[in-house]
Amino acid sequence: MNAETHDFKLQRAGPQVVVAMPAEIDIGNADQVRRALLSAMEPQVTVLIVDMSRTTFCDSAGVQAVIAAYRQAATTGTQLRLVATEVLRIFTVIGTDQLIPVYPTMEAAQAEMS
Amino acid sequence: MTVDASRAELEERLRDIQSITDADLSRLGPQDLLSELLERGRDILQADTAAVLLLDYSSGQLVATAAAGLEEEVRQGVRIPLGRGFAGRIAAEQKPVILDHVDHTTVLNPILWAKGIRALVGVPLIAGGRVIGVLHVGSLTPREFTSDDVELLQLAAGRAATAVQSLIMREDRIAAAALQRSLLPFALPASDAGQLAARYVPGEGAVGGDWYDGFTLPSGQLCVVIGDVTGSGLPAAVIMGRMRSALRAYALESADPGEVLAKLDAKMQHFEPGAVATVAYAVFDPGMDRVRICLAGHYPPVVAVPGRPAELADVALGLLIGAAPGAQRPVTTLELAPGTLLCFYTDGLIERRDQAIDDGLARLCQAVSAQPPDAACAAVMAALVGRQPARDDIALLIVRRSPQEAA
């Protein structure tokens, strides 16, 4: 019923860190998502890219996890970026595109200067 | 006592514990269940006192909930911070603790040493991998509790913890459902100028934080609200209740929906940090010919004008409540021709795991037509829900300006 647990792959490129998100995010794994994002924000990380390019479903619990990461990022000065295609709609409706820049591809997200 | 005798005695005591099945436990009410747990704890260790403290997640404190031979602990409302004192350490470290000396240096709660307790043993109550409380047993005569004692107490605590947890969850579910029911309006306002109808269906798992509201202001304006607090169960329902009251209070102070949601957002960020919610708030002029809408992270309503296919209303999107301070709160004004209908909904209605949100929105637009609100609600629920059980909460609120002939 609920989304399955996910093995979070962290990919580091200098001060940029990419966290790959699961295909589905809901109450079943949102807490895991939140912890993965918060723990990825180590002091030397200036840009955290949340890779939702393979995510096809994200409910409000998933949104809350991303917002928690945004709040933490705002206090530590980390820049949060989102890569989203299929779940882009939900992030537009909730208006977080005003807070967190959203990119259509990983290349676009990584190319942006911090 | 020989080694064999003590072994046999241990086994017998274990059988006693296991003779109480989970089915027995599940039939007990919360107080009886805790009493049973205390009696068992005292009996198997042949001790004098027993107490259960349950963890209150919102305050992070252990609260004395039941006691035997130590009733004053409950009556005086003892609270122990997590990590401090005897019980606080057991809960924080999730490990049993044995105390051979009980005084102010080892125990935070003065009731325990004032009572004359000489030795204590306590174990965490763990259910679903989380600490839900502490069970401790005390002796009024000097005694050294052994590791066998700890093991027996842990066995007793283990079975009871699961039962206590499911009881708490059941009570929370009932409380959340009751709270939810009490917060949905008993009767929606209606006038010659416009009518409302609504549906609310709780999700399959737990009641969530969806709500809707409809009320009139002293000016004669009609206000409608629909919202969704992230999370589920009692915590979400409690936050939902606070949001609903706050929004009503701000609505009395300002006719500008953007200002009302800005105040609600500021209030939430200060008093409920970490909570997020989506809200759509609409204020209709008394004649229902005009509506001003402010969206905070919520899907736009579907608008149906008589004789035309329904479509998603062109309303400015705004940031959801609780995300960041000082968000812009854009307000969109729509002119409503007679007979025009607006359909507000929560995401449970349109989100399906196996299809894109746009498909859900398209199906909703197809199902909505400018007809009397109650019939419109029925048509939408039939088309989008049908016989499927709702996974998530679904709230639906439809408002229609009366057709010309009824005015």
Write out pLDDT tens, residues B197-212.
999 998 876 677 899 9
Asked if residue B192 has pLDDT above 80, the reply is yes
Boundary (domain end) residue, out of B127, B153, B175? B175
- The per-residue pLDDT of chain B, averaged, comes to 88
In angstroms, what CA-CA distances link B105 with B53, B57, B81, B84, B119?
A: 20, 26, 16, 11, 13
CA nearest to B231 within chain A: A61
CA nearest to A57 within chain B: B353
Query: Which residues are bridge partners to B131 per DSSP?
Result: B126
**By the CB < 8 Å criterion, does B230 face chain A?**
yes
Return phi, psi of residue B293, to 5°.
Answer: -120, 135
What the block records as the tokens of B113 is: 């040493």
**By the CB < 8 Å criterion, does B209 face chain A?**
no
- Does the residue A22 lie in any domain? yes
- Are B223 and B126 in a shared domain? no
Boundary (domain end) residue, out of B175, B203, B233? B175
What the block records as the tokens of B35 is: 């009493």
* Yes or no, beta carbons of A64 and B317 under 8 Å apart: no
* Yes or no, beta carbons of A70 and B324 under 8 Å apart: yes
At B195 the pLDDT is 95
* Length of chain A in terms of residues written: 114
Asked if residue B367 has pLDDT above 70, the reply is yes
Task: Give residue B405's pLDDT band: very low, low, confident or very high (50, 70, 90).
Answer: low
At B1 the pLDDT is 45
What the block records as the tokens of B374 is: 């109650």
B229, B236 in Cβ contact below 8 A?
Answer: yes
Q: What is the CATH number of the domain that holds B322?
A: 3.60.40.10
Q: Cα distance from B231 to chain A (closest Cα, Å)?
A: 7
Q: Report pLDDT digits (tens) over A60-114.
A: 889 999 999 999 999 888 999 999 999 998 999 999 988 999 999 999 998 877 6
Q: What is the CATH number of the domain that holds B156?
A: 3.30.450.40
Q: Report pLDDT digits (tens) over B138-182.
A: 999 999 999 888 988 888 888 778 778 887 888 888 888 888 888
What the block records as the tokens of B403 is: 């057709």
- Are B124 and B211 in a shared domain? no
**By the CB < 8 Å criterion, does B329 face chain A?**
no
Mean pLDDT of B229-258: 92
- Are B195 and B125 in a shared domain? no
B244, B183 in Cβ contact below 8 A?
Answer: yes
Interface of A with B (CB under 8 A): 1, 24, 27, 57, 59-61, 63-64, 67-68, 70-71, 74, 86, 89-90, 92-96, 98-99
- Are B191 and B282 in a shared domain? yes
- Are B317 and B168 in a shared domain? no
Q: Cα distance from A22 to chain B (closest Cα, Å)?
A: 14
- Quote the CA–CA distance of A11 and B351 in Å, as a whole number: 31
Contacts A92 to B, Cβ<8 Å: 317
| Residue-range definition of the domain harbouring residue B64 | 3-175
Relative to beta strand B79-81, strand B97-99 is: unpaired
At B138 the pLDDT is 94
Total tally of structural domains belonging to chain B: 2
B338, B404 in Cβ contact below 8 A?
Answer: yes
- Are B392 and B247 in a shared domain? yes
What the block records as the tokens of B191 is: 């006038």
CA atoms within 13 A on the CB side of B36: 23
- Quote the CA–CA distance of B211 and B225 in Å, as a whole number: 8
Q: Residues of B308-343 as b/e, b for ≥16 C-beta within 10 angstroms?
A: eebebbebebbbbbbbbeebebebbebebebbbbbb
Please return the burial class of A14, using the count of CB atoms within 10 Å of its CB with bins 0-12, 13-18 and 19+.
exposed
Q: What is the CATH number of the domain that holds A84?
A: 3.30.750.24
Contacts B323 to A, Cβ<8 Å: 67, 70, 94-96, 99
Contacts B357 to A, Cβ<8 Å: 89-90
Q: Report pLDDT digits (tens) over B46-93.
A: 899 999 999 987 788 999 988 988 888 888 888 999 988 899 999 999
B9, B15 in Cβ contact below 8 A?
Answer: no
Boundary (domain end) residue, out of B136, B157, B175? B175
Asked if residue B406 has pLDDT above 50, the reply is no
- Of B290, B275, B392, nearest to B345 (Cα)? B392
- Are B28 and B62 in a shared domain? yes
- Which of B 384-403 lie inside 8 A of A, CB atoms? 391-392
Contacts B392 to A, Cβ<8 Å: 59
- Are B155 and B16 in a shared domain? yes
Looking at residue B24, the DSSP 8-state letter turns out to be: H
- Of A93, A24, A98, A105, nearest to A65 (Cα)? A24
At B327 the pLDDT is 93
The dihedral sign for the CA sequence B5, B8, B10, B12: negative
- Quote the CA–CA distance of B296 and B323 in Å, as a whole number: 10
- Are B349 and B214 in a shared domain? yes
* Yes or no, beta carbons of B278 and A60 under 8 Å apart: yes
- Quote the CA–CA distance of B199 and A88 in Å, as a whole number: 28
Total tally of structural domains belonging to chain A: 1
Asked if residue B298 has pLDDT above 80, the reply is yes
At B6 the pLDDT is 67
Mean pLDDT of A19-23: 94
Contacts A64 to B, Cβ<8 Å: 230-231, 276
| Residue-range definition of the domain harbouring residue A102 | 10-111
- Measured from the Cβ of residue B276, the count of other Cβ atoms closer than 10 Å reads 27
Tell me the DSSP string of B36-74: HHHHHHHHHHT-SEEEEEEEETTTTEEEEEEEES-HHHH
Measured between CB atoms, which of A60, A74, A99 is closest to B347?
A60
CA atoms within 13 A on the CB side of B328: 11
* Yes or no, beta carbons of B347 and A59 under 8 Å apart: yes
At A26 the pLDDT is 86
- Are B229 and B157 in a shared domain? no
- Does the residue A81 lie in any domain? yes
Please return the burial class of B157, using the count of CB atoms within 10 Å of its CB with bins 0-12, 13-18 and 19+.
buried
